[in-house]
Amino acid sequence: MYVVVSDNMSFEDSMAVSAVAFEKTCFIERSSESNDMEYSKEGETQIKFSKEVKCEMVDFDSLPDYLKDNEFILGYYRCEWPLKETILSIFSIHNETLNIWTHLIGFLIFLSLTVFTAMMIPKDAPFPSMQHPGELENAMPALISWHLPELLVNCLPKRFSYASNVTDPCVLTSVKDDVTSIISPLLMKPVTRWPFFAFLCGAMFCLLTSSICHLILCHSERMAFIMLRLDYVGIAALIVTSFYPLVYYSFMCQPFYCHLYMGFITTFGVATISVSLVPVFQTAEFRSVRAGLFFCMGVSGLLPIMHKLIAFHHRPEVILSAGYELLMGTFYGLGVVVYATRIPERWMPGRFDIIGHSHQLFHVLVIAGAYTHYLAGLVYLKWRDFEGC
């Protein structure tokens, strides 16, 4: 590390100037040695320090107002450290360490799930025009229709024929179903994956921006301003893209409702992000408006879920996916309650500064909620891959 010192300044003065430059809570641990000195053309002395900058953590009471968020976490705060030290603090212990790592690990989990999902897409069919099993019936009516039992009668050994009077027609119907289930996948084209990948990208974006936000927000007030907005955008992106698999795969055969719900949530998401980014809405009086917008955006997911249940209540995939969505809502709801009530640290202030405070629990619950939504997405893919419209 290099510090520029003018010839007419004492070393003590230069150290004082340097201390200001290195922010309030950081200092240079060891002074320079004579053989580390270098001289520039302008007559200035450049002193090379062999030690890195050391930064200290501070208590809640020492924080500037913009970093005061949770009065029940008393210590282990990083405060206005230089950017390099702030970034490197990802490997040290402070009250944000687990907030950073929970969502960073969550990001890596969803990255792995994305790769896994991309690899498990079935190969396109040799007959790309056949997108749905229903088309199979049009193409091969004798195979799929109720004529098949008669067809099979002609091929099967005599003891299975109607003439022998021993074969239950149900057996032949069952054989027809088996043949259909074998042939149909061969002629199917898998349903489009983009809504599912949009959700996975939204989840990865949210988790990564959250992790970065927790890492470098404490660097400066300007950085906090930027990072909080990025965090809002990430949350909105996760909520909006979570709708896409649900709405698209449920209503892909009813374009009106599909476009209606997709358009609604996308518009809602863009509006929420805009409100979060415009400075006039950043004042304290709009805090409840911002929170209300995010809440309404999440809760509006109930509408397509109820609609789906009414329209397709006979489909086991719809019941199963709704079960996952209920579980997801429970995880997210629990997360919001923990986040808002600041449990457990409010019961024992200072006890959970490093491990176990509400924001860490909130992060874990968000990952659990997003993962159950991923499982619901797999159910949708299986349903639409096999049945189409």
Known binding site for Zn(2+): residues? 214, 359, 363
Q: How far apart are CA 12 and CA 243, in angstroms?
A: 61
Closest CB to Zn ion among residues 18, 86: 86
Q: How far apart are CA 306 and CA 302, in angstroms?
A: 6
Which residues are documented as binding site?
214, 359, 363
- 203-230: b or e for each residue (b if 16 or more CB lie within 10 Å)? bbbbbbbbbbbbbbbbbbeebbeebebb
Closest CB to Zn ion among residues 18, 211: 211
**In whole angstroms, how close is the CB of 360 to Zn ion at the nearest point?**
9
Cα atoms found within 13 Å of the Cα of residue 349, Cβ hemisphere only: 9
Closest CB to Zn ion among residues 272, 358: 358
**In whole angstroms, how close is the CB of 77 to Zn ion at the nearest point?**
15
Task: State which residue has the least CB distance to Zn ion.
Answer: 210
CB atoms within 10 A of CB 109: 17
Taking alpha carbons only, the member of 244, 259, 297 closest to residue 275 is 297
Tokens for 291, please give them. Answer: 């929170």
**In whole angstroms, how close is the CB of 215 to Zn ion at the nearest point?**
11
Closest CB to Zn ion among residues 113, 361: 361
Tokens for 322, please give them. Answer: 């709704």
Closest CB to Zn ion among residues 209, 242: 209
Angle at 251 between CA 176 and CA 106, to 5 degrees: 100
Q: How far apart are CA 372 and CA 367, in angstroms?
A: 9
**In whole angstroms, how close is the CB of 25 to Zn ion at the nearest point?**
22
Rg for the chain, CA atoms, rounded: 31
For 59, residues 6+ apart whose C-beta sits below 8 A from its C-beta are 74, 75, 77
CB–CB of 18/26 below 8 Å?
no
In the complex, which residues of this chain contact Zn ion (CB under 5 A)?
210
**In whole angstroms, how close is the CB of 245 to Zn ion at the nearest point?**
24
Q: H helices of the chain, where?
A: 11-21, 83-88, 97-119, 133-139, 141-144, 148-155, 169-187, 194-216, 221-251, 255-277, 287-299, 302-311, 316-341, 358-387
**In whole angstroms, how close is the CB of 179 to Zn ion at the nearest point?**
53
Tokens for 54, please give them. Answer: 């050391």
Closest CB to Zn ion among residues 13, 71: 71
**In whole angstroms, how close is the CB of 123 to Zn ion at the nearest point?**
40
Closest CB to Zn ion among residues 210, 321: 210
